[in-house]
Amino acid sequence: MPASTAATTAPVVLTAKALLLDMDGTIVNSDAVVERCWRDWAVSHGLDPQEALKVVHGRQGYATMAALLPDRPMEVNRAENAVMLARETADTDGVVPVAGAPEFMAALDGLAHALVTSADAALATARMTAAALPMPDVRVTAESVESSKPHPEGFLKGAAALGVDPADCIVFEDSAAGIAAGQAAGMRVIGVGPRAAAHAPTVHVPDLTTLRVTSTPDGSILVSVSVPEA
């Protein structure tokens, strides 16, 4: 019989002591809400919504505002961000899990992992609930840090909370800012979804369906990733 021409996969296995998970775009698909709210904000400030959406993902809102309106006082950005957070928290229409996220989160039960998100605690709770995903016991939210991604503070705090060296952590991220933050923390990064591909993560996956998470007797976590061969 002729050789099959079907695509095969080359498994990549990464070993870690802990996994650090971004939320939006990584385990929760909240793009509909994010784009709805930030388009309105951009238009109200005379900005091009398409250009604004290029810098929104992965950052805290005040940092996005500072990038788009660099001459505006930071206290104004923080005040407007509080309003934006309240609107986003109340709007869960279209919030769903990323493909494979329910199975992925179930596999993490009992393993060392943390949520590291630019959302505040209320927004994180609203979106994880809307997506029907379990909230990790260890969480680093906007209130926990002084600096937004791409600063590594959030991921470093997540590692410290779990008692794990940064080099033994794997970050799951979807955005340029988040991937840069994980790399700056000295961690390997699995990039999830279309936004991640252009930012040189350690491994890129289209969603979470290609991952398998297992543990070893010594407590290490094995992340097996099926990557299509070229």
Q: What are the tokens at 37?
A: 């709210």
Q: Is 165 a catalytic residue?
A: no
Could you identify the residue written with the tokens 């998470």? 213
Whether residue 156 contacts residue 185, with contact meaning beta carbons closer than 8 Å, is answered with yes
Q: Is 93 a catalytic residue?
A: no
39 φ, ψ to 5°? -60, -45
- What would you report as the CA-atom Rg of the chain, rounded to the nearest whole angstrom? 18
Identified catalytic residue from 24, 31, 120, 168:
24
Type of residue numbered 147: S
CA–CA gap between residue 75 and residue 67 (Å, rounded): 14
Which residues are designated catalytic? 22, 24
